[in-house]
Structure 1
Amino acid sequence: MGDDVNGLHHVGHIVRDMNEAMDRYRRLGFTVPAPACPVLPRVAGGPAEPFGVVNTHVYFPGNFIELVAVIDDTGRMPGEARPIPLRVPDDKLPGLTAAIRATVANITSFLQRFQGLHIVIADTPDIDGVAARLTAAGVGHGGVHAVQRPVETSTGIRMDPARYLEISTPGLPAGRAPEGRIGFAQNTPAEAPQDQQHTGHPNGATGLVECVLCVADPALPELERRYGAYFGRARGGRVTRFDRANVTVVAASALAGLLPGEHPAALPAFVGYTVSVRDIAATERLLRGNDVPVARTGRGELFVPADAALGAAIIFRQDG
C-alpha cells in the first residue's frame, strides 16, 4: 500500500500578486521563469483574452514549485506573462470555460483562507493503479484526467500531456480536502529533467523534498488515517512522516518544536515546504545578503519564516 508513490510531484503556492511573488522568490534565490497565461475567447466568436489563472514553475530535476494567481476581471496579466493561446472548437468552449471558472473559484476560496501553500501533488508512475487503490479503500476522487500543460525546453515552449487525479472529500467542492487540494500526477517521458530549463538556482536548490501540514491536535488521528489511505504507512507521533510521499504532519502543539515562531493562519494548513541545497552555508549567505530574514528549525536547519515568504515557510536542507 503506497508503493505507487514516489515523493512529491509539486506543491502549489497561491499568491495575491504574481509580480510580487516572482520578485520575492528571486530574492530567495530561485530562478523563476516568466509566467504562462491562458488566452481564449469566453464565447464562440468573441475576442481572445486572458482568462483563469496565471502560473509559473520553479523547476528542479524531477519536481517543481508552482506559483499561482487569479487573473482579475480586468484581464490584467503580470508584466512578464507569456500568453498561451488555447484553441478550442466552438462546441467545446462552454465546457472548458466552465471548468476554468471552477478552478478559479477553488483558487479564490483558498486565497480567502490565507495566502500560502494550498496544493500538494504526489508523484506516481501508475496513476491508474492509484485510482484503483483509492477506490478500493473507499477514498473519494474525481478519476484520472488528461491535460496539456506548457513546459519550457531548450527549444521553447512545448505543450505536454499530463495525467492527474484529485482527492475529493464529502461535503466539499470537487477536488477539495479540508487542507486544500491533494492529488497525484504521473510524469510523462517528455518531462525528463534535461528537457526542463531553469533548473539552476542561485541559492543552490536541487529539489523539493518535503511539505509540512499542521493540524489541530484532536484532528491528528483522523488525518493520519486519511493520509495513510492516500500514501501508505507512516512513522507516527505528534510529528508523523509519510515517507513515500515526503509529507510531514505535525500537531499544532508540536509546531513550535519544528518551526519556532510559526503560527498558521488556519487549521488544517500546509505551513511550509523543504528544498535541498548543494551548500547550505552559501544559501544562508545569499539570503542574508538579500536581506531575507532566516531562522532555525527545531533540528537546527535553516528556514525563512512564512511572513517573509508570502505565507509559506521555506526550509533549506543540506543535500545528501
Structure 2
Amino acid sequence: MSHGLDHIVHAVRDLDAAADLYRRLGFSVGARNVHPWGTHNRIVQFDRFFIELLTVGEPEKIPSHGDGALSFGALQRDYLAAREGLSMLLLASDDAAADLRRFAAAGIAGGDLFSFGREGRRPDGSVVKLQFSLAFARDPLSPQAGFASCQHHYPENFWNPAFQVHANGARAATAVVMVADNPTDHHVFLEAFIGTRDLRSSSIGVTAQAGRGDIEIVEPVSLRDQYGITVAPEGEGARFVGLRIAADDLDVVERLLRDHEVSAARHVGRLVVPDVCGATLIFEQGTV
C-alpha cells in the first residue's frame, strides 16, 4: 500500500545548470551528492516529497542491467542518451522488501531490492547517516517511465524543514502528470503499483490517488486542454511530462519568474513553466 509520493527523478545532462535554473524558479536547491554507482544528484525538498535532480557524473561506474534486474544508474544513463526530463517516480514506503514481494506477486517487479547509504549534511554542516531501499516496478507498456517504492531508514536525518522553505512559496507536489495515447491501458499497472483500487477513470484519462499526491495519466489532447502543453509522439506507453506544485500565491510566483526572465503562462487557473530541462512545472494556488 502506498503512503504517497516520495520523490521524482529529474534526469539532466548538466546538474549545476539545472540547479541554477531551479533557483531562478524560486526553489532552494541542495548541494551535490555523489553515488558510488556513478550518478550525482541535488535535492529540492518539500514536506515528505522531493525532486531529485540527477545526472550521470561518472559513466565508467554505471553498472549494467542484470538478468531481469534493473540498474538504477543504467536506467538514468539510457534515458539521458535520448532526452532530459522526468524519468522515474518513487512512492513512499515503510517496507520496501514487502513492496517487492507484492510487485512480484502482481508480475510487475523490476529486480532485486536495491539498498544503499550515503552521508548527508544538516544546515549547520553536521554529518548524518542516510540509507534507502528501493523496490523497482515495471509497467511493461511504458519503457520510458521508471517506477519504484522508496524506504527511508533514517527519515529523521533526511527530512528537514530548513530545506523546505522556497522563495516561490511552493509547499507540496500535488500530482505527477503523465501522457499516453490510451491512459486506461495503464489502469491495471497503477492498481498493482499503488496497491489500491482507488482509481478514477474519465473521458480525459486515469487518476490514481496515492494517499499524498496523485498520479494522473491523460491523453495528448487533454494535456493540451488542461495545461497548455503539446508533446510530440515519442515511442509507446505512458511517460512523465509534468509535476503539479501547490504554492501560496501564484502572483508571487509569476513576479519572481518574470524578474528572473523565466517564461511562464497562465492556463486554466494555473501557472505553467514549460521546458524546465525537458519537464514542465505546473504551479497551482493553495497549500497542502
TM-score, shorter chain, exceeding 0.5? yes
The residue number in structure 1 matching 2:173 is: 208
Query: Could you tell me which residue of structure 1 aligns to residue 90 of structure 2?
Result: 121
1:217-274: CA deviation from partner (whole Å, max 9, x where unpaired): 3xx2221221122122311122211012511111123211122143146253200101
The corresponding residue for 2:230 is 262
Q: 2:241 aligns with which of 230, 246, 271?
A: 271
Residue 199 of structure 1 is aligned with which of 133, 139, 164? 164
Q: Which structure has the larger Rg?
A: 1
Name the residue aligned to 2:187.
224
Listed as ranges, the matches of 1:247-258 within 5 Å are: 247-258=215-226
Aligned 8 A contact 1:5 1:125 in 2: no
Contact 1:152–1:195 (8 Å) recurs in 2? no
For these two proteins, the number of residue pairs brought into alignment is 275
Report the CA distance between 1:72 and its aligned residue. 5.2
1:294 partner amino acid = A
* Alignment partners' CA distance in 1, 2:79 and 2:137: 16
- In the alignment, which residue of structure 1 is the partner of 2:155? 190
Q: Which residue of 1 aligns with 2:283?
A: 316
Q: Write the distance in 2 (CA, Å) between the matches of 1:257 and 1:98.
A: 41
Offset at residue 304 of structure 1 (A): 0.4
Supply the distance in 1 between the matched residues of 2:127 and 2:171 (Cα, whole angstroms): 23
Separation of aligned partners in 2, 1:260 and 1:21: 23
Work out the percentage of aligned pairs sharing the same amino acid: 26
| Distance of aligned partners of 1:196 and 1:158 in 2 relative to their CA distance in 1, 3 Å threshold | farther
- Give the whole-Å Cα distance in 2 for the aligned partners of 1:249 and 1:194: 29
1:21 has 2:7 as partner:
no
Provide the residue aligned with 2:47 in structure 1. 61
Runs of 5+ unmatched residues, structure 1: 40-50, 76-95, 172-176
| 4+ residue segments displaced more than 6 Å | none
State how 1:1-320 maps to structure 2 within 5 Å: 4-38=1-35, 52-71=38-57, 98=63, 102-154=71-123, 155-168=125-138, 177-191=142-156, 195=160, 197-217=162-182, 220-231=183-194, 232=196, 233-237=198-202, 238-244=204-210, 246-264=214-232, 266-267=234-235, 268-297=238-267, 299-306=268-275, 309-320=276-287
| Whole-Å separation in 2 of the counterparts to 1:23 and 1:52 | 22
Counterparts of 1:301 and 1:168, CA distance in 2 = 31
Indicate how the Cα distance of structure 1 residues 319 and 293 shifts in structure 2: closer, same or farther if over 3 A, else same.
Answer: same
One-letter amino acid of the structure 2 residue matched with residue 230 of structure 1: F
Task: Give the stretch that moved more between structures: 109-118 or 265-274.
Answer: 265-274
From the superposition, tell whether residues 181 and 292 of structure 1 become closer, same or farther in structure 2 (CA, over 3 Å): same
CA drift at 1:189: 4.5
Cα RMSD (Å) of the superposition?
2.7
Q: Distance in 2 between matches of 1:258 and 1:33?
A: 32
Q: Is the 8 A contact 1:164 1:183 kept in 2?
A: yes
Gaps of 5+ in 2: none
Kept after mapping to 2: 8 A contact 1:113/1:265: no
**TM-score between both structures, scaled by the size of structure 2:** 0.85
Taking structure 1 as the reference length, what is the TM-score of the superposition? 0.77
Going from structure 1 to structure 2, the CA distance change for 1:265 and 1:15 (only over 3 Å counts) comes to farther
